Chains A and B, each alone.
Chain A
């Protein structure tokens, strides 16, 4: 095989993307769990450890640039490396969402009403599961699986809308809850955005497998503007 170096580096990068993905999955699950348990120590650790996610992302980005400069990848290899650049950016932003939720835990007062936390936890479970499978599809270059995942974004959106209504009602009923209800809305919004970013990862999988750059829509796309 005349291209052992490139193949070896590409396998290594696949592993690194999976590793970064699992760091993000863990951070997100743990940040929502810490919120549910009001575990400030855990939130503090998640907040601090976001820098490890950022460092890993930069290390992968750097390795890709070196590979492009030294190996001149073409065709599928080039698409794969370009796609990773996008995917790690999405993952790094998801890490920021987890960090944001960790911060929210520290901002919520002791008397915060956590009646929406079950739905927030459910959003987290679905989003993390979507991410996990999206990364599996990414490394397997399974575009059929990647096309099937974004549909689940609707579940996350439904939960978000439910949480939104519940929190707005509580703010109207008792203006003293406005602060912490806003914080929780922020947490839910982070999870809603995370699921959207999973869709972006799925789009990159389709790109690697087929060479096509296309939007994978879920039902909340712009063509449904009137239904907002």
Chain B
């Protein structure tokens, strides 16, 4: 995996299938995620959207019996090639989860930890500050860096998790329902932060909240589940088009609340 390669897309899937044992959970996904854009994946429960997202940084490796068929290209290389180091993948492709999950340590340690074990060079204090600034949390915590992270509000904890992800200098940030545990104000803060971060990072977000996808993303992919319970990608396009004039009736039915 050579980060110098100038691949056209941040991530590209080619005929991707995903299996849990013998069950094909996702089939035939062909998607191209633009660099430094926010792409949203929406769809009903069970359509495989989180499965797809987690396969982008090999988080599914932790679930026994799972496998990917087809290709997921990152810098021109299939993420699932045997010579690819999943730890390196997870450094370059970070993830923020549904529920904020800071370590029960200080704010400072939460941000510094990943950077330290990944051997990110530079002065740690500066890296912590830079990451917290980027995550729009610095002003709120700069006098309390030794406070336990669990004492922060939910929205602050989520931004801390984003700072933690940024500290290891990723290229892509995956977000799996990052606002579902947050109130509307904290949600808007995260969405504004995503917009800001997209100047330097590629963001892919899975969300149940269609309004959030409409508000916060540049591109939207709609997934649904077929008769065989396998998730498929139905339609992918610019968010404005998907929400005003979707091409596929299944997309229309889902986003207008007729199904799902």
Flag if B245 contacts A75 (CB, 8 Å). yes
Binary interface profile of A, 1-22, with partner B (CB < 8 Å = 1, else 0)? Answer: 1110010000000000000000
Task: List residues 190-221 of chain A with CB under 8 A from any CB of chain B.
Answer: 211
Flag if B244 contacts A73 (CB, 8 Å). no
Q: How far is the CB of B203 from chain A (nearest CB, A)?
A: 22
Task: List residues 202-239 of chain B with CB under 8 A from any CB of chain A.
Answer: 210-211, 214
- Chain A residues with CB under 8 Å of B251's CB are 75
Q: How far is the CB of A173 from chain B (nearest CB, A)?
A: 57
Flag if B258 contacts A74 (CB, 8 Å). no
Flag if A74 contacts B245 (CB, 8 Å). no
Given the interface pairs A72-B211, A76-B252, the reply to whether A211 lies near B257 with Cβ below 8 Å is: no
Asked whether B200 is an interface residue with its Cβ less than 8 Å from the other chain, the reply is no
Flag if A77 contacts B244 (CB, 8 Å). no
Flag if A75 contacts B257 (CB, 8 Å). no
- Which partner residue on chain A sits nearest B246 by CB separation? A75
CA distance A77 to B244 in the complex (A): 9
- Chain B residues with CB under 8 Å of A75's CB are 243-246, 251-252, 255-256
CA distance A73 to B210 in the complex (A): 11
CA distance A73 to B255 in the complex (A): 9
Flag if A73 contacts B256 (CB, 8 Å). yes
- Which partner residue on chain B sits nearest A207 by CB separation? B245
Asked whether A168 is an interface residue with its Cβ less than 8 Å from the other chain, the reply is no
Given the interface pairs A3-B257, A74-B256, the reply to whether A211 lies near B210 with Cβ below 8 Å is: no
- Chain B residues with CB under 8 Å of A1's CB are 258
Binary interface profile of A, 55-88, with partner B (CB < 8 Å = 1, else 0)? Answer: 0000000000000000011111111000000000
CA distance A2 to B211 in the complex (A): 17
CA distance A73 to B251 in the complex (A): 14
Interface size for B (C-beta < 8 A) is 13
- Which partner residue on chain A sits nearest B211 by CB separation? A72
- Which partner residue on chain A sits nearest B253 by CB separation? A75
- Chain A residues with CB under 8 Å of B244's CB are 74-75, 78-79, 211
Interface size for A (C-beta < 8 A) is 13
Task: List residues 1-48 of chain A with CB under 8 A from any CB of chain B.
Answer: 1-3, 6
CA distance A6 to B252 in the complex (A): 15
Q: How far is the CB of A31 from chain B (nearest CB, A)?
A: 38
- Chain B residues with CB under 8 Å of A2's CB are 257-258
Q: Write the residues of chain B forming the contact surface with A, with a CB cutoff of 8 angstroms.
A: 210-211, 214, 243-246, 251-252, 255-258
- Chain B residues with CB under 8 Å of A72's CB are 211
- Which partner residue on chain B sits nearest A212 by CB separation? B245
CA distance A76 to B243 in the complex (A): 9
Q: How far is the CB of A76 from chain B (nearest CB, A)?
A: 6
- Chain B residues with CB under 8 Å of A211's CB are 244-245
- Which partner residue on chain A sits nearest B251 by CB separation? A75
CA distance A6 to B251 in the complex (A): 18
Given the interface pairs A72-B211, A74-B210, A74-B214, the reply to whether A3 lies near B245 with Cβ below 8 Å is: no
Flag if A76 contacts B256 (CB, 8 Å). yes
New contact pairs (19) apart from A74-B256, A75-B251, A76-B256, CB-CB < 8 Å: A2-B257, A2-B258, A3-B256, A3-B257, A3-B258, A6-B257, A72-B211, A73-B256, A74-B214, A74-B244, A75-B244, A75-B246, A75-B252, A76-B252, A77-B256, A78-B243, A79-B245, A211-B244, A211-B245
- Chain B residues with CB under 8 Å of A77's CB are 256
CA distance A66 to B246 in the complex (A): 24
Residue among B251, B252, B257 facing the most chain A CB atoms (10 A cut-off): B257
Q: How far is the CB of B254 from chain A (nearest CB, A)?
A: 9
Q: How far is the CB of B183 from chain A (nearest CB, A)?
A: 18
Q: How far is the CB of A153 from chain B (nearest CB, A)?
A: 27
- Chain A residues with CB under 8 Å of B246's CB are 75
- Which partner residue on chain A sits nearest B255 by CB separation? A74
CA distance A74 to B245 in the complex (A): 9
Q: How far is the CB of B240 from chain A (nearest CB, A)?
A: 11
CA distance A222 to B246 in the complex (A): 32
- Chain A residues with CB under 8 Å of B257's CB are 2-3, 6
Top 10 A-B residue pairs of the complex, sorted by shortest distance between their CB atoms: A211-B245, A3-B257, A74-B255, A75-B252, A74-B243, A75-B256, A77-B256, A2-B257, A74-B256, A75-B246
- Chain A residues with CB under 8 Å of B256's CB are 3, 73-77
23 contacts between A and B (CB under 8 A): A3-B256, A3-B257, A72-B211, A74-B214, A74-B243, A74-B244, A74-B255, A74-B256, A75-B243, A75-B244, A75-B245, A75-B251, A75-B255, A75-B256, A76-B252, A76-B256, A77-B256, A78-B243, A78-B244, A79-B244, A79-B245, A211-B244, A211-B245
